[in-house]
A = this chain, B = another copy of it.
Amino acid sequence: MKNSLIVQKYGGSSVANIDRIKNVARRIARYRNKGYRLVVVLSALGDTTDELLKLARRITSAPSEREIDMLISTGEQVSVSLLAMTLQRMAIGAISFTGGQVGIITDYSHTKARIIDVSADRIKKELRKDRVVVVAGFQGINPDHEITTLGRGGSDITAVALAKTLGAGICEIYTDVEGVYTADPRVVTDARKLSYVSYEEMLELASLGAQVMQARSIEIAKKFSIPLHIRSSFNNKTGTIISKEVKAMEEALISGVTVNKKEAKVTICDAPDKPGIAAVIFKEIAAKDINVDMIIQNVSRTGYTDLSFTVSVRELNRARQVMSDIVGKIGAKGVTYNRDIAKVSIVGVGMKTHSGVAAKVFETLASKGINIDMISTSEIKISCVINKKHADHAVRAIHRAFGLDRVRRA
């Protein structure tokens, strides 16, 4: 379905300085010449947000989140006004807005607010005047008119929410990479850019450590079936389209291989194997707001069991504190910690209809003499925890085993 309205979002690296802003303006000019109406969402210039947070940290290690939002929301306001001026200089009608001005209404949280409503009447009015509407990403206001921000990946969320409200044909996400790859090109030299990937696969890839987009914005796009196009702002190449699963996609078994080296494994040794033990453990962990990724309980021997789980390395110290209490409470023998792990995962909607994918992964690792420590699967994902020193080798082997270096995905 042809729709002449496009929402474009440019990340911080794409608007890091005046020259790059001019570059963005030239791209917008080309779209305008082709007859498209445009709503453009911007992040703050380069590292502005981090610089502002540094200022705040010079005052206090625990600034109020409400004041943090007042502070960091200025970053996007600067970028949108500068882009609007640049477009006007090129004789393109343009107007900039804060999130609040275009009616992006959030809940009452600060620094990670959720959008509850987007009115966008103001945007529609300006589009009717044939203007490019430039909107500050990452921010909104709550019903009390307090400024809020949406957290990591917030500008993507703004873009997707506006695309939904305005009925845009596509939401383009401009960044400093050319799209979504079958593996990290720094690890796998023959990694290929995917032409298409489904929302579900992209969600798995995002949660497995592919840093292109945060899961929240992909979830919104999926919910409202808004096609996303992830592409580079530094060239005109087509990037990766993220959309609903289509027939052509199913022909390719696997869309990508990822690796996450930022998890640690916690193992509780010889815990009594009786009902409710896991509940006790993970209730206490959750109470400390620690996110657990994989959980594996080994087979019971003689009434005792080993139970392992992984947490982010960042949260390991907090997990340690909880664990020492729990071990005594449940009568386990002890607890061990391992930071030398890596989680290698493959993602692909093709798995749903093709058997043997897991077996092929295990065989591939075995053929390279790599031991598998933990395994976890979902409908479209298989993850294996292995020794960190084998991680890159494992990714390359799996990537080749599934022919990701060869198959051109439709």
Contacts and interface: CB of A to CB of B under 8 A. Distances in A.
Contact of A59 (B18, B52, B63): B18
Nearest to A70: B81
Contacts of A101: 145-146
Interface string A268-303: 000000000000000000000000000000000000
A225 to B, nearest CB: 32
A99 to B, nearest CB: 12
Interface string A194-224: 0000000000000000000000000000000
B96 A82 contact: no
Interface string A26-64: 000000000000000000000000001001101110011
B82 A55 contact: yes
A89 interface: yes
Interface stretch (A71-79, A112-120, A254-262): A71-79
Contacts of A80: 70
B85 A81 contact: no
Contacts of A89: 59-60, 63
Interface string A129-161: 000000000000000011100000000000000
A228 interface: no
A23 interface: no
Centre residue among A81, A88, A96 by max chain B CB count within 10 A: A81
Contact of A84 (B67, B74, B145): B67
Contacts of A82: 55-56, 59, 71
Complex copy number for this chain = 2
Given A18-B55, A145-B101, A78 B71 contact: yes
Contacts of A74: 74, 77-78
A81 B96 contact: no
A5 interface: no
Interface residues of A, number: 35
B77 A59 contact: no
Contacts of A84: 64, 67, 70
A282 B406 CA distance: 80
A86 B56 CA distance: 9
Contacts of A56: 81-82, 85
Nearest to A68: B81
Interface string A89-100: 100000110100
A403 to B, nearest CB: 49
Contacts of A96: 67, 70
A311 B179 CA distance: 60
Shortest Cβ-Cβ A-B pairs, 7 listed:
A70-B81, A74-B74, A71-B81, A60-B89, A63-B85, A67-B81, A18-B58
